[in-house]
Amino acid sequence: MASRREPSPSMRMRKIALVICEGETEACYINLLKTWYKSPIRIVSHIEGTKITPSLVEKRANELKISRWDKVDAFLMYDMDVQAINEKLQKCKAELLLSNPCFEIWLLLHAKDQKSAISSEALIKELKKCSPIWRNYVKSVFTDTQKTFLNKNTPMAVARAKELPEFKNPSTGIYKLIEILKGDTRQSLASLSFDRRTKEQN
């Protein structure tokens, strides 16, 4: 009896996005992405705060690998309001999803443009007054209405974020992860569609 052909590495490979976050608010947002994007990429978040180092990023990535075929891409979702942390982040082998001055700039871009420099405190005030939805905003918690608003307006936030100079105040790199997830979702759907057509023809 002929032995079964071993699957190619691409068939066995698991794609994993390791998103290391600064705090609970970012982790909460990552959990939303898991529900919105049915991507073949497995998203794993870790809250590390100020402990972040290149060796820690490598350790967390290796912990997720079950086989040598697994591909783990690391992302760092951090605020840029602490210079000492910024210097540590730049040394890490990972895609930087940094927000200047803080994560809430990404939330604000779902509602409106922000072109001029702004402090973290002023930014949260601006977020709360930009729409009744955000009036009672609390870090680490998104209401159902806020979740719906974010999901609906993500394309606009991505477009606005791409117009801002990277790492400057204001700016955010979170849109990069969104585009990766959207791209892999489209590829996955296209693959499923192709498989269905092939089965129907056979």
Cβ atoms of 77 and 102 within 8 Å: the answer is no
pLDDT of residue 39: 76
Say whether pLDDT at 201 is over 80: no
Q: pLDDT per residue over 107-127, tens digit each?
A: 999 999 999 999 999 999 999
| Tally of domains within the chain | 1
Domain assignment of residue 5, yes or no: no
The reply to whether 184 falls in a domain is no
Q: Does any domain span residue 62? A: yes
CA distance between the termini of the chain: 26
Residue that is written with structure tokens 């009036």 in the block: 135
Q: 99 lies in a domain?
A: yes
| 32 assigned to some structural domain | yes
**Assigned domain for 58 exists:** yes
| pLDDT at residue 136, as a whole number | 96
Does residue 68 lie in a domain region? yes
* Residue 23 CA from chain centroid, whole number: 14
Section 137-150 average pLDDT: 97
DSSP 50-109: GG--HHHHHHHHHHH-SSTT-EEEEEEE-BSS-HHHHHHHHTSSSEE--EES-THHHHHH
**Can you tell me the mean pLDDT for 19-25?**
94
Residue 195: per-residue pLDDT:
37
- In which domain, by residue range, is 23 found? 12-176
Q: What is the mean pLDDT of residues 131-150?
A: 97
Q: Whole-prediction pTM value?
A: 0.84
Identify how many contiguous H helices and E strands the chain contains and give both numbers. Answer: 8, 6
Tell me the pLDDT of the chain averaged across its residues: 87
Within a domain: 164: yes
